[in-house]
Amino acid sequence: MNVFDKLALPNGSIIQNRIAKAAMEENMADADHAPSEQLMRLYQAWAEGGAGLLITGNVMVDSRAMTGPGGVVLEDDGHLHAFRRWSRISRSKGAHVWLQINHPGRQMRANLGQQTWAPSAVPLALGKMSKHFNTPVAMTGEVIEDVIRRFARTARLGELAGFTGVEIHAAHGYLLSQFLSPLTNQRTDQWGGSLENRARLLLEIVNAVRAVVSPRFVVAVKLNSADFQRGGFSADDARQVVKLLNDLDVDMVELSGGSYEAPAMQGDARDGRTLAREAYFVEFARDIRTIAKMPVMVTGGIRHRAVAEQVIASGVDMIGIGTALAIDPNLPHEWRLGNDKAPALTPITWKNKPLASLANMAAVKFQLSRLSRGKTPDPNVSPLRALILQQLADVARAREYRRWMTQRSILSY
């Protein structure tokens, strides 16, 4: 088994190789929060790069709940033509293309000016940076049911737009991950308490999505291997959730880990100390593979072909690559030709880990921005420069988003 073997999914779909472009939040929506021309050019580059699967950055199920300014929203058919063009470009070389659909819960910045919802009123603990996030309001039963409907609607619209699947984001500390964690889910009703109750929202969403899409449309789930916080969602919890997902029509589980508070999805490799941490979550993925009835994908730091081959040889079905494909979108073709390139960013050695995490994400987005404008990526960009540019862009996009929401509110009356 190698990275260029085909992969058959439970629903009969075939992915042409075992390399996935993992989701990276692009924040490149147009003025109406639909796919922009920049986003089209970016996905054209990845389509031509040779990965078998492209998973989009966050596509929001609710315009009032954004993981960041400039995010793409798919909650109605108002801009379905743009999504159809996005899917057509992304699929132009034969890749599967899945929308990663998401709701931020409490991980939504205060400057976006919207009500912040979460399972319980537990604020983010980010030290001095906590002030940038509101204390959330505990979701009512009606709000929870609305979220379920929204995930299903977005999935249905995604299929109508020509995407081949969706990935339901239940990792990285976003809403579904918050429900899974006993640290952030302190409810005493049917949505909290036992792991079965904490997993109820994810399972309900999977069932709701599957009920409105066709059998050949892929339904995947992104799940944390752990939160990496004491008392949080554990590796044993993750195993139990995968067992629950085994009973549903899930075509793949992608394993990652961490949250805004503990950004393990970036791994120790972001400080440049060790190559041994390149495939951050692979040991856990091997373990999950022994109990999962669906294929398992692992994402986190992979950039060498030799490491990718080792992961696949160990029994993991698919590898997700993010940063390396932001630097070199042609990496799969390079590997197929025998060139073991291993793109990497400038190491970040800052002591402030939340700030280092922001700088790492900013450096990745810097590469995406260059690719979207037809320019060559610059992996040696100063992390500080990338962070400053990103912060300035976010302020402008947040202002635009607030204006957009105000206008929508006026038009709705």
Residue 63 in 3-state DSSP? coil
| 103, two tokens | 């709701």
Query: Residue-wise pLDDT tens for the chain (413 aa)?
Result: 799 999 999 999 999 999 999 999 999 999 999 999 999 999 999 999 999 999 999 999 999 999 999 999 999 999 999 999 999 999 999 999 999 999 999 999 999 999 999 999 999 988 888 899 999 999 999 999 999 999 999 999 999 999 999 999 999 899 999 999 999 999 999 999 999 999 999 999 999 999 999 999 999 999 988 666 666 788 899 999 999 999 999 999 999 876 666 554 444 433 333 234 545 577 888 889 999 999 999 988 899 999 999 999 989 999 999 999 999 999 999 999 999 899 999 889 898 887 888 899 999 999 999 999 999 999 999 999 999 999 999 999 999 999 999 998 776 54
Strand partners, 117: 137
Q: What count of other Cβ atoms lies within 10 Å of the Cβ of residue 367?
A: 25
Write down the pTM of the prediction.
0.93
Residue 131, in any domain of the structure:
yes
Q: What count of other Cβ atoms lies within 10 Å of the Cβ of residue 87?
A: 23
Residue 300, in any domain of the structure:
yes
End-to-end CA gap in the chain: 59
Residue 291, in any domain of the structure:
yes
Residue 139, in any domain of the structure:
yes
Residue 167 in 3-state DSSP? strand
Separation in Å, CA 346 to CA 61, 98, 326, 382: 34, 30, 13, 7
Residue 2, in any domain of the structure:
no
Q: Is 384 exposed, middle or buried (0-12, 13-18, 19+ CB in 10 A)?
A: middle
Residue 209 in 3-state DSSP? helix
d(CA 230, CA 129): 21
d(CA 367, CA 330): 14
Residues whose CB falls within 8 Å of the CB of residue 399, separated by 6 or more in sequence, listed in order: none
Residue 1, in any domain of the structure:
no
The H-or-E segment that residue 85 falls in is helix 80-90
Number of domains in the chain: 1
d(CA 402, CA 399): 5
- Domain residues for the domain of 294 are 7-412
Residue 92, in any domain of the structure:
yes
Domain containing residue 286: CATH number: 3.20.20.70
Residue 165, in any domain of the structure:
yes
